[in-house]
Amino acid sequence: MLAGRRVVLGVTGGVAAYKAAYLARRLIERGAVVRPVMTESALEFLGAHTLAAITGNRPVTGMFNAADVSPHTTLARWADAVAIAPATAATLARLANGLSDDALVATVLATTAPVVIAPAMHTEMWQHPATISNIEQLTSFGYHIVEPASGALAGGDTGVGRLAEPERIADAVAAVLPGGPMTGVEVLVTAGGTREAIDSVRYLGNHSSGKMGNAIAIAAARRGAKVTLVTAGPTVDHPRVENVEVESAAEMADAAWNAAERADVAVMAAAVADFRPARPIEGKLRRQEGPPSVDLEPTPDVLGGIAAMEHRPFLVGFAAEVGSLDEAVAKARRKGVDLLVANDISSPGSGFGTDTNQVTLILPDGATEAWNLMPKADVAERLWDRISEMCKWEGTSP
């Protein structure tokens, strides 16, 4: 949670400095108050007036050119968190060795607030033994490192060293701060479509992209929850999300049932296969051998297994239907869930792989709540609002 939180945003002299303006905007959109501090070299890449206009606060750019007689200690005491993005190799070295020869490093040395560092540099610099050693030293200080991504770098190069996206850095800042309406809550989310082997090459599967489940996991993490995401699709990059990658329904069942034992809430958004080949073939089926006969058997009932637990978490099921949602209402009763989220995948904008969804909530008493079509991220936020009401938590999304 960043609402009302005070964040010092440090910017150093790299090409990626322009992204600090986007990060400042992301932090402010989440409710943070941002005060920038820029190194002398950062001013060669990003104008101080840009950050002043975005944050409403003039950046501190030096130790001796500010109205404040001690700008670094003032910032250090004011901050709830310090974020440095981008952090150059030179700044990492200064921080690791306590060389407080600029306002930014002096602020970090003077603060007791958590520090988030997002490095950006060329691949060779990132992989140099000195940088590796400095990162290890900073980690030992308790600083939180948002590692760079792979992609386009300055000068037309590509490789590891690209500054992490502002949204990811903002997530890291939120993660180091205590608070949030779901702090202390453990959440299990399943996502993606399982794959059931026919042979060593082919499988039975479905079109689920995992986008809805991932959005639910991210929304919970941003509210302070500790999330276990059991996924047969893409993983999530968030400090409060532990990804458990699986492929088959059996693997998902094992992972989900294990996580459910310690979870307070389980949201089962995965599209789990109902059947699997009874005798998958080792090796590859050949065309010249003719069409195979594939006998199917039921897969483990992942949702039902959690519902049957003696001390189960608050349980949210999902039902992807085609046309009528009558079967979803029957499923809610049959499975004994606390809440069921149903959608018609044949409806425009509501199918697998889309960025939007139109869902209907089915409550334990059979009552329904139909929601309008909206982005999946908004569905996730609104779903957690509804779950929080039913679980008697306070607060809403950041």
pLDDT at 397 over 70: no
The two domains 6-176 and 186-391 share their CATH topology (first three levels equal): yes
Q: At 206, give phi and psi (nearest 5°).
A: -145, 180
Q: At 55, is the pLDDT very low, low, confident or very high (cuts 50, 70, 90)?
A: very high
**Segment among 103-117, 290-304, 326-340 with least mean pLDDT:** 326-340
Q: Note the pLDDT of residue 398.
A: 39
| Beta bridge partners of residue 116, listed in sequence order | 83, 144
Active site residue 258: no
Catalytic residue among 57, 97, 134, 206: 206
Q: Which residues contact 174 (CB under 8 A, 6 or more apart)?
A: 1, 2, 30, 180, 222, 398
pLDDT at residue 85 in the model: 97
Lowest mean pLDDT segment, chosen from 11-20, 250-259, 385-394: 385-394
Q: Which of 99-113, 250-264, 325-339 has the lowest mean pLDDT?
A: 325-339
* Percent with pLDDT over 90 in the chain: 78
Q: Where are the domains of the chain?
A: 6-176, 186-391
Confidence of residue 392 (pLDDT cuts 50, 70, 90): confident
Distance CA 229, CA 217 (A): 7
- Average pLDDT over the chain, rounded to whole? 93
Phi then psi dihedrals of residue 85, to 5 deg: -155, 115
Provide the whole-model pTM: 0.76
Terminus-to-terminus CA distance in the chain, angstroms?
6
Backbone phi, psi, residue 234, to 5°: -65, 150
Write the pLDDT tens digit of every residue in 102-152: 999 999 999 999 999 999 999 999 999 999 999 999 999 999 999 999 998
Token pair 């990626």 is found at 16
| CATH class for the region spanning 6-176 | alpha beta
Residue 93 has pLDDT above 60, yes or no: yes
Nearest 10 degrees: Cα torsion 94, 97, 101, 106:
90
What does the pLDDT read at residue 393?
Answer: 62
Half-sphere exposure of 212 (CA within 13 A, CB side): 32
- Taking alpha carbons only, the member of 146, 150, 183 closest to residue 166 is 146
Task: Find the mean pLDDT for residues 78-106.
Answer: 96
Neighbour-count burial for 200-218, b at 16+ CB within 10 Å, e otherwise: eebbbebebbbbbbbbbbb
Q: Which CATH superfamily is domain 186-391 in?
A: CoaB-like (3.40.50.10300)
Q: What percent of the chain has pLDDT over 70?
A: 98
What confidence score (pLDDT) does residue 329 get?
Answer: 83
368-387 pLDDT per residue, tens: 999 999 999 999 999 999 99
